[in-house]
Each structure stands twice: as C-alpha cells, then as structure tokens.
Structure 1
Amino acid sequence: MACKCEKEKEIDSCPKIGKAYEINRRLVFVMRLLGVGYEGYRIFCGLMDMGQGFALNTYYSILENIHSASSAVFDTVLSIAVNEEKEILQEQGKAENEFTLSGDGTWKKRGFSSLFGVSTLIAKYTGKVVDACVMSSFCAGCNLWKNEKNNDPVGYAGWLADHEENCTRNHTGSSGKMEIDAVVKMFSRSVDKHQVQYTTYIGNGDSKTFKGILNAEPYGEDVVVVKKECVGHVEKRMGTRLRNAKKSNKGIGGKGAGKLTDKLIGEMTKYYGLAIRRHPDSIEEMRKEIWATFFHKISTDSNPQHQNCPAGESSWCKWRRAEFLGEAEQFKHNKPPLSEAVQKVIKPIYEDLSKEELLSRCLGSETQNNNESLNSLIWTFAPKHLHSGPKVVEIATFLAVIIFNEGFEAILKTLETMGVKIGPQAKGYVQQRDSSRIDRSERRTSDVVKQARIAKREDRAALRDFQEEEEGLLYGPGIAD
C-alpha cells in the first residue's frame, strides 16, 4: 500500500561529493589498490548483486580524480623526504644540498618491448623516494588518429593542436632507453624541484644510465656525478662470469673431483659478495677476502694456501681454526682442490673482479634493494599481466611511493584530497596494518630470525642439490631424443 503522506522525503543511501556519490570514488580507489580495473569492478558488482555498476565515462572521471589527488599527495611526500634527508646530512656535517641516492628502472612488461617504464630515485640515509618518473611511449588518442591523419589531414591538424598539451606519450625510442631518459630528466630537475644536486649515484652495470648522466652534465662541467656500484649486482657478475666460463670451456664442469659445478659456482658467488659487504671501508681487505676463497678452494694437505683466510678460533676456515689450536700439521682437507684446468679458467675472472677500479665503487656496500622493493609494490597496483594505460601506471607509482615513504596511513590523505570522509574503521585498519608491518620488519631483521632464515635457505638448497644429483637432468634441449 503506497504512502499518501505529503511530507515524503528522500534520503541518500550514502554521502555525496557535489552531485556524485562518495561510495563510487571510494570503490574505484580501493579496486585500484587491489590492482583491479573497470571490468574487474563490474564483475564484483554484478556477482555481489550490487547492480551493473556505472558507465565507463564515470569510471574514467573518477580515475582522473584519483590521479589528481594522488599526484598532489605524492608531491607533498617527496618534499617531506627531501627535507628529512637534508636534516640528516646537516647533522652529519655534510653539505645538505648534495645527495647520494640509488636509482633503478622497472617496466610494465618484462623484456624491452614495454610501452611503460618507471624509474625511481631513493635517498641514501632516509631510504625514502625523492623523485619518480613514468615514461610512456603510448597514447590512446595518438593511436586512434594514426590511421586517420592521411584520410582527414584537416581534422587531424585541428585535433593535434588541442591534443599536444595533454598527450600521454613522453618517450620516443626503445623501452631500454626509458630508464636512461627518466633518470637524466630527474637529475636535470633536482635543483628546480628540490634545490639539491644528486652528486653520487648508486646504480648497476646493467644499463648505460650513468653514462647518460655524465653526458647530460645536469649541473654543468664543474660538478661531476660520482658512481657507486650496487653490491648485489656486482656479486651477480661473479656468478654470470663463472657460468659463462663453464659453458665455453668444455670439460671443466660436470661430476668429478675438482670440477666447476653449479653448487660451487653458487658458493663462490656468495662468498665474493660477502667479501665486499664485510669490508665496506677497505679495498685491500675486500681484495684479500675475495682471493681467500680462490686459494681456499685450491688448497691441499701438501700445499695449504690459507694465508688470506681470516685467522683465529672463530674463522670460517677450518685450517685456520686448526692452526689456532696448534693442530695445522695434522689437518686433512676433506674436499679435493679445483683442478688445474678450472684454476686456469677462473683465475682471470678473480683478477678482473678484484680490480681497484671496481672495488673502489663498492666502498660503502651500497645497494638498490630499496628501489627493487618499491618496483614490486608499483606493479601490485598495476599488475603486469593486465593491460593498463599511462594514467593507471602513474596512479600506481604515486600510491606506491606514498605508502613506501609514509606508510599505509598516508593513503587516507589521498582519500581526503578526493573529498572522501575518513571513518573510524578505515583509520583503525591502516593504523593496525602499519603497526603489523613494522613489527614484521623488526622480527625479520633480528639476528635469531636472520640465522633461521639463512639455515632454512641452505637446507632447501642442499635438498635441491641432492634431488638433482639423484634424479639426473630432466629438462634440456633434445633430451627426449
């Protein structure tokens, strides 16, 4: 029976922002954090029996709102990070306008055929992002008009005049060059944007980014940017060189005493990295411990060569421990030494990777670990296996940097900027999430947990080696023939 009351009143089902419902903005924002796009949003609404959702134009309108809000908070977060780095430098008595930072690039698609790439710069002392740049070689509008410009040159000229300012394509050339162009761009704008110079760059030898910085001379001829190597990437060079040597020198690999096995390559690579990390302030000590591994592996009972191994009761070298106890003459080497053929092949590799020029760039044991951690966070918001446009990649970068620098609670600032009201449940959730993340990080960095993690990793590696030895080669070119 219909109500006949003249005082009938409509009540909105949720708050409004202007004429739009707040729930729509909140829903799209949360879906973006989950890496879900328009079609995923429609599946959710449909199967949750919440209706068919809103139109695509509405979705893009909300996406623009999210982009504007996250961009504004992103800029604020960067400024905070820069000021914090300046304060630390000032406390240490260093020039507050000369930053040491690590840089790295990541691509939307694996390999070098990606339409989108993201590069980030992270300050050394705060471990926070001070700049990020998204490179795009794709524009939906340009893609739509590329076939029409010959058919309708007048219409194309008119469209182009209005479009150039809003074109999302900011890169021409290969995907591999995106990182170089992005880092050079961020270096070139550091003075205008933050009133600082990036005088020391922590990078890797996998790209020509540093060469691009030197060629650009972002601070003129008088200021030369200094290169530092990422220790993790330098360590990988040893593994790569040893594996390549094994492939190109038949007979030195495989089973048998003194052979260059994959397990041995893994050990030598690991010890090479440890030698650098354990002596961040001394090139000589780095070199000494690097060669300790080589001579340790070629030692015999008749010719022990442990002069570079650390001395004392706590040494990792059993011969050195026996020496400390006065039992060196009775010591027996359990493992056979590397064969002369293997020694001849790998010695030049050790000579090359222990040169002063390389090790001097490893002083400080700097890494790009923070950049790589941020890279993985970016692609949780714009998954690599799903198509995304440049706006979505930029939103993913903004949100990732906001969370990386200031924690999940800073996401509430983005929602507030969008006009969304923050309730007690949302505030409580982000506080609990940040608290859990801090507790988890502290546990992971404790010595007990570290040792347990290392032991577990070594057990898995030992089991894998045992299984591979027992089962033999199962996969390989032409193995089934």
Structure 2
Amino acid sequence: MDRKGSRSSRRRPLKKRPPPNRHQIEQEQVSTSTLAKKLKSGENIDVIVNPSLGYTIINFIDVFSSLSNYVKCKTCGGDVKFGQSSIRGLGFKLVVECASCDSKSINSCPCTDNHSYEINRRLVFSFRMLGIGGQGIKKFCGLMDLPKPGGQTTYDALVKNIHCAASSVCENSMKSAAKEEINLTAEADNIEKPRGLTVSGYATRSKKGLFSLYGVASLIGYHSGKVLDVAVKSAYCNECESMKTKANTAEYEEWNRRHQCDVNHEGSADKMEVDAVREMFSRSQELHDVKYLNYVADGDCKIFKDIAESNPYDESVKKKERIERVPSGKNESLDDLIWQIAPKTNFSNAKINEIAAFVATTIFNDGHRSLLDILRILNVSIGPRTHDMCVEEDVSRVSIGNVD
C-alpha cells in the first residue's frame, strides 16, 4: 500500500465532547425547537393540565431544619438532614442525607427532556409577559432573597427559546385565522372559494416621530377581525453597536462570521409600515395560498399606493374606504398587548419586540389560552393555577369587549 493509502487507513480517534456544564444545561434549545417544528408541520401539540403541579415560596433553611427533627430514614431509622445540590437559577436538587445510607435527591421542579429546570423558563417567560427583562428579574430575586436567576448568557438563551415557541404558535394562529377568513369570505360572497381577501393594515412604533428604531405592522381580516400576518421592522442591532469598538480585530472577524444581524429596515421610521405591509402582501400566497385583493384604507393612503406600485399579484389590488367592520378599538387592543410585553419606556432589542408581536397576535386572535400553547412548546408543565388564570383573563377580556 502506498504512503497516501497507509496514512488514510490510520484514523485519529474522535475526541469525546465534554458534557455540558451547569449553565449550558439551562441554555439548551433543542427541546423547544423540536416541538416548534412539530407544530409548524401541522402536528397537534396537546396542552395537558397537571392537577398536582403548583409552586409555593418557603424559607428553605427554617422549614427543612425543623422537618429533620421529625423525619427518620425509612431504611435504617436514623436521622436525616436536608441539603441542596445542582443549583441552577431557581432550580435545584433536594438532597436527603443519612449517615448510614446513600443520599437521595429529588428535583425541586419538573425538568425538560434535556434536564434543564423548567422553573427558569417559566420565570423569564412570566416576567417577559409583564414587560420586565433580565435586570428586573435579578432585582426581584434579590429583594425576595431568592437565588440569582442566572447570567446574561443564560437569560439570552432562554429568550431565544421563548422566541422560538412564540413564533411557532403565532404562525399556527395566523394560519387558522386565514382559513377562517377564507371561509367567511366565501360564505359572505356565496361562492365556493374567494378570488382574494379584504384586509386592513395596522402599524405601531416603539417611539413616536422619526426616530423610532422598531415598528410592528399587521394585516387584519375583514370578516374575522383576526390578524392574518404580522411583521416587525428593526433599524438597529444591539450587537453590531457594541462590537464597533472591536472592528478589525480577530475577535470581531469571528463574531461577524456567525452574527445574524437584527437590522431588516433601512430608511426613515415612516417607511417602516409601508415596507412591512408590502412584504406581507408579497408572501400571502406562500403563507396562506391566498391573495389580498382589497385593502381597507382612508383617503390618500401612501401604503396603498406602495402596494399598487409593487404589484404583488397578477391582478390589481383595490382600495376600499374604511368601514365599521374592522373596528379601530380592537386594533388599539393589539397595540396595548404589544407594548405591555415590550414597554416603550424601556429599550428592547429586536428579538424582544418580535416576541411581543408574536404573543400579542396569538392573544388577539385566540385569547390568553394561547399562552398555554407557548408554555407547552417551551416544555413547561401547566398546573391548574396557570390554566385558570388564562381562562379568567379571557372571560374578563370578553366582558370588557362587550361593555365597549
């Protein structure tokens, strides 16, 4: 055998990948993305309410020090002590120690398929729904004498998980809304399948005026009153800004090679909504296999002009004057939902604004019970209190809507 052949026959042994450290376990994203893909493919993801699940805050040292005075080892009858191990954020293992027997450990909360504590996902998701980010969570945990919630890298990874889950549930919600709109249009026009749909556009920005860095636009079905598509425009990337000082360095080149920039808009803030609506029109056939052939607008509408000039279909889009069937009050509730999750008073990056748009859309279309779907994709167990809260919020929402 020649030298080349002999060399190729001797393969180097594969290096074993080191196991993830305690921080990396909480940063895993595989389980979320797997369930998100299943949902997007049309597979049903059941939301199961676990009646035995519930959380209570206790003083660990006082409670378990007292408990050890009353509890004996089941195996040998000796005294036991309680401790903690594998502490990651608010999750840990409760360790039962006996001087004569092997110690036993119990997870303080359910774990995901990849062994990360679900309480940390629940914590970040819950605070994000209240419009509070990582620094607020850290301050809350400090004031409550709770363990530190984890570093910035862990927080960012958990936000990516929430983004993945919210995106998939939102996409599923908009697909269902489009099907409903198609059926309602066919029924109203007394035809089997409509040539196109009538939609109205709605846009909102993180700040008023010409200096807004982020904008959200949506298209709402005329008959269903539900969001059929949503787009978030970003004129700013936090990572790009922070890495400017390291330009022309090896670190910068490595970062730039793997960086996915948040910027998807160039030009004035006024142009955000125009570009977003044009983008949504251009993808209507890909998303919903339908055309938006009628656009509801007032007077001299620059958005409609842009749609007409872009010519997204093989036939023209017509403008309809604003009509009562698409209520402005409901649009305002969508606006409120978005900025409750990403408050205008705080700086939020593109990913947070997208989460806000996705979650707001699902609540707008399907109610707060859609939050249970997001938690399910996040591999978070759902207890009766979480379920009941979502139901009560929806009842309250319907009551307020009826008063309005």
The TM-score with structure 1 as length reference comes to 0.60
1:80, CA displacement in angstroms?
0.5
| Other-structure match for 1:105 | 203
Q: Which structure features the higher share of helix residues?
A: 1
CA shift for structure 1 position 86:
1.1
Q: How does 1:5-24 map to 2 (within 5 A)?
A: 5-17=100-112, 18-24=114-120
1:73 aligns with 2:169: yes
- 1:90 matched to 2:186? The reply is yes
Distance in 2 (CA, whole Å) between partners of 1:367 and 1:427 is 29
Find the aligned partners of 1:79 and 1:97 in 2 and give their Cα distance. 18
Tell me, in whole angstroms, the C-alpha distance in 1 between the residues paired with 2:142 and 2:301: 46
Task: Quote how far apart the aligned CAs of 1:217 are.
Answer: 0.5
Q: In the TM superposition, what are the counterparts of 1:26-425 in structure 2 within 5 Å?
A: 26-92=122-188, 93-94=190-191, 95-149=193-247, 151-152=248-249, 159-163=255-259, 166-205=260-299, 208-220=302-314, 223-230=315-322, 367-425=327-385
Deviation, 1:367, is: 4.9
Count of matched residue pairs: 306
- Deviation for aligned residue 1:119: 0.3
Please identify runs of 4+ aligned residues in structure 1 that moved more than 2 A. Answer: 94-97, 144-149, 154-163, 203-207, 228-231, 364-373, 439-442
| Rounded Cα–Cα distance in structure 2 between residues aligned with 1:116 and 1:145 | 20
Q: What do the CA deviations read for 1:127-183 (whole angstroms, capped 9, x no partner)?
A: 00000000001112322334444x44x7655543432xx221111111110000000
In structure 1, C-alpha distance between the alignment counterparts of 2:124 and 2:328, rounded to whole Å: 33
- Rounded to whole Å, the distance in 1 between the matches of 2:320 and 2:215 is 23
Distance 1:87 1:169 in 2: 37
- Letter of the structure 1 residue corresponding to residue 296 of structure 2: I
State the 1:205 CA deviation. Answer: 4.9
Q: Is 1:129–1:405's contact at 8 Å kept on the other side of the alignment?
A: yes
- Looking at structure 2, the residues matched to 55 and 382 of structure 1 have their Cα atoms a distance apart, in angstroms, of 21
- Shift of the alpha carbon at 1:51? 2.5
Q: Which runs of 5+ in 2 are unaligned?
A: 1-78, 82-97
How many Å apart are 1:379 and its aligned residue?
0.4
Change in CA separation of 1:63 and 1:205 when aligned onto 2, cut-off 3 Å: farther
Quote the Cα distance in structure 2 between the aligned partners of 1:144 and 1:118: 24
Secondary structure at 2:369's aligned position in 1?
A: helix
Give the 3-state SS of the residue equivalent to 1:120 in structure 2: strand
Question: Which string of whole-angstrom CA distances, capped at 9 and with x for unpartnered residues, describes residues 190-228 of structure 1?
Answer: 0111111111111345862111111100013xx211112
3-state DSSP of counterpart to 1:10:
strand
**Structure 1 residue 441, shift from structure 2 partner:** 2.3
Retained in 2: the 8 A contact 1:103–1:121? Answer: yes
Greater radius of gyration (CA): 1
- Aligned partners of 2:142 and 2:204: how far apart in 1? 35
**Which of the pair has the greater relative contact order for Cα pairs under 8 Å at 6+ separation?**
2
Task: Quote the RMSD (CA, aligned, Å).
Answer: 2.0
CA contact (8 A) 2:200 2:295 kept: yes
* SS of alignment partner, residue 216 of structure 2: strand
SS at match of 1:402: helix
Q: Distance in 2 between matches of 1:206 and 1:36?
A: 39
Given that 2:167 and 2:358 are in contact with CA atoms closer than 8 Å, whether structure 1 keeps it comes out as yes
Deviation at 1:105, TM superposition (A): 1.1
Tell me the distance in 1 between the aligned counterparts of 2:400 and 2:321: 29
SS of 2:154 mapped into structure 1: helix
Answer yes or no: is the 8 Å Cα contact 1:120–1:371 preserved in 2: no
Q: 1:422 to 1:55 in 2, by over 3 A?
A: same
Report SS of the residue matched to 2:200. Answer: strand
Distance (whole Å) between structure 1 residues aligned to residue 299 and residue 216 of structure 2: 18
Seen in structure 2, the aligned counterparts of structure 1 residues 52 and 205 have a Cα distance that, compared at 3 Å, is farther
> What amino acid sits opposite 1:77 in the alignment?
S
Identity of aligned residues (%): 41
> Quick one: distance in 2 between partners of 1:393 and 1:206?
30
Distance of 1:174 and 1:439 partners within structure 2 = 40
Distance of 2:353 and 2:195 partners within structure 1: 30
Mean alpha-carbon deviation: is it higher for 61-70 or for 105-114? 105-114
Q: Which consecutive residues of structure 1, in runs of 5 or more, have no partner in the other structure?
A: 232-363, 446-481
Matched residue type, 1:53? P
Residue 121 (structure 2) aligned to one of 25, 34, 47: 25
Deviations along 1:69-117, one digit per CA (max 9) or x if unpaired, are 0101011000100111111122221553411111021101121201110
Amino acid at match of 1:4: A
Cα gap change, 1:378 to 1:97, in 2 (>3 Å): farther
In structure 1, distance between residues paired with 2:400 and 2:387: 20
Amino acid in the other structure paired with 1:110: K
409, 427, 431: which one aligns with 2:391: 431
Q: Which moved more, 1:91-100 or 1:364-373?
A: 364-373
Amino acid at match of 1:63: V
Structure 1 counterpart of 2:11: none
TM-score, length-scaled by structure 2 = 0.71
Superposed displacement of residue 434, structure 1: 1.3
Residue 230 of structure 1: how far off its partner (Å): 3.2
The structure carrying a bigger strand percent of its residues is: 2
For the residues of structure 2 that align with 1:423 and 1:381, how far apart are their CA atoms? 23
Which deviates the most, 186-195 or 196-205? Answer: 196-205
Deviations 1:370-393 (A, max 9, x none): 333211210011000001000000
